[in-house]
Structure 1
Amino acid sequence: MLKRLFTLLPAVCLLISLGGCAGAPPVHTADMPLESQTAPPAPVPTPTPTPAPDPEPPAPTVATLAVCGDVMSHMPVTNDAWDAERGVYDYTPIMAEAEPYVSAADYAVANLETTLAGGPGYSGYPRFHSPDALAYDLKSLGFDLLLTANNHCMDTGFQGLSRTLDVLDEAGLAHVGTSRTLEEAQSDITVADVGGISVAFLGYTYGTNGIPLSGDAPFCVNLFNTDYMTSLSTPDTDRLLRDMAAARALETDLIAVMIHWGVEYRVEQNEYQERLADLLIENGADLVLGGHPHVLQPMEQRTVTGADGRGHTGFVCYSLGNFISSQNYALTDTTVVLTLELTRDNVTGEAAVTDWTYVPLLMLDRGGGSGRFGLIDAHAALSGAQPPEPGLEARLTRAIEDCHRILGPEHDPRAEGSRQEPSDEPAA
């Protein structure tokens, strides 16, 4: 019996074992619900970058250059500048009404048509020799640079020419056109910062009134004529081209040539002036600022086609007449403060004269006594609370009319119908 039981026991255990296996069905993971699976993390979307705005182009640089005419101290003017109470020469009352317009500019230039050879013994026409005070008073008025090359620069010889430059240096005035040494002459280009715009200034004269240059200093005056002692009609092209190349090499924004030329007392430029202007513009001049005729002459933009086939444009002012003098006749008593607007495009780097305005002035001779001479702001005098006397009113009106006839009314901000808004403020 036991033997049979032991015989059956393995079989029963096998059945139980098989039954247990049959009761635990196999696991099929593919058949499990999705929520019971471990899902990979969802990808985080990459944000689209916001494009940076285009930078604003740099604003242009705009500056102003004031230009005035011939500074001449005839003996009546020199005598009027004498202040007996203080025992000094003082030109500031004579020029005072021009001061707001000169000082308002970023830079101011004029032609000094006299010498400062040291006093006493001052003289006027035909050999000019003036007090040093003239230089200091021009500086205090607002001037920065003077042309010293003109037909009177040798009136007191090479010694007077040299001392004139010494005085200008002491007064803080830059200068172009004459030199004390060969070294100065070889680098006689003044680079000025005009309200953030760099300008290279050069200066020349047609001649020296028949006074030969010093044998020891033939370099002392920048002459643009080879025949400066005779016919005054042959330009020194080699010199001008060499000097213009030197100016271009400085890589300034603009090049300005101050030049003493033309025919005295003519209110129109001649062909020789135009040809010289074109030569200078073709070779890099952006401004040609002329003097010597002692009367106003026109101003214009001239475009010249150069050897490279490109057009070159420059502003030309043929003459601004006398700034101060005792030439108190119609036309010679009329002048202006010319204000040029200079603009540099800070994207392209190009610079040019983009506009110009002027203020008509009359050099009044009141006759006799102290305070005889004085520049008068013509518009201000005519529109003031106290009307001028009839004789002066007629002269002021005539001065304005002459300015409009020669220079054009559209550039006079206070002219009736001007493209500028009338204003009593100095032109900026």
Structure 2
Amino acid sequence: MRHVIVVGAGQAGASCVARLRTKGFDGKITLIGEEPFPPYQRPPLSKAYLLGEMDRDRLYLRPESYYAEQDITLRLGAAVTGVDPEARTLTVGDDVLPYDDLVLTTGSTPRHLPASIGGDLDGVMVVRGLHDVDAMAPRFAQGARVLIVGGGYIGLEAAAVAAKLGLNVTLVEMADRILQRVAAPETSDFFRNIHTQHGVDLREGVGLDHLTGAEGRVTGAVLSDGSTVEVDFVLVGVGITPNTTLAEAAGLRMENGIATDAHGRTSDPHIWAAGDCASFPWKGQQLRLESVGNAIDQAECVADNIMEADQPYAAKPWFWSDQYDVKLQIAGLNTGYDRIVVRQGADDVVSHWYFAGDQLLAIDAMNDPRAYMVGKRLIEMGKSPDPDAVCDPETDLKALLKA
């Protein structure tokens, strides 16, 4: 009987095994995860779950009973220590498991601060898994002082939660502006204003020099401009690193993560990869997307191709971020943009449209789901609207789809 093993029980791994069964795969399926929990959603961890608005059971993508009902072997709290591509086996504890197809959905790991600047002090934390959030939740007490290092979406979302809970929040971003790597200055300006209104001490162009502590616990920070901040704890949001150790040891090709072809297959014909850990061909490069949407779509494409669909992965990038009462929805990739068109609605309703010449590349929509949906469809259709029509508040957005 054919055996598919999926290593990594996150969003991508869960999507892959579910898709295999939905598509009629009748062989053995094993899903292996290092955490002791069944696959769960990560985005609500640092928002609804941390705020106490979502119970742990609601985080789970499916009830644990689902896997037994679908005859999917779920091995949790288990670390894969090696893969032998020639023998087509992998090692988990004392067990050596044979596979016909192996799918690596090993995800990513947050970057930590080095110990040399105090990164090993108690109270210096990252946001990634359930254990992380459970450990930090008691520290989110009203009046507590938190330093957030990193002004990307992870850092800004953490700042929003902390501010809503009444903490004193300082956020430092060493780049000239928040969101500099991922968004236009107009989007940075929007979120800077929102955070400032909520009392966040937001410092751009300022990095962390080192942390200070007493009795092994963090108590303060010295910043790159020489200023100091007293803190009770520190949250680090300075990006992630794809988990490629297992793939590298197996001799797979690496390029911006685990390199796959257009079908999700790695350099070994019996090993596939999807999600945060994997890159795929896109406009002459190996692109790696860090998003729930990509994890689902790429993993389902891999499952289809294990079932011999011979279907290339067509990425449809979309992302989102929730901060205070603002829902940001992003469609497309803004790489190479040279013009921003702003469509302003009432209050905090606004969308920023990214163009390269006359070509629409991407959209950031703040509290504007209609603009997001139209922009997303236009990008997927390969259509570019007249920029002047976009910014005209009298333009019916849906009409852009028919133009």
Normalising by structure 2, report the TM-score: 0.28
Structure with greater proportional strand content = 2
Greater Cα radius of gyration, structure 1 or 2: 1
Normalising by structure 1, report the TM-score: 0.27
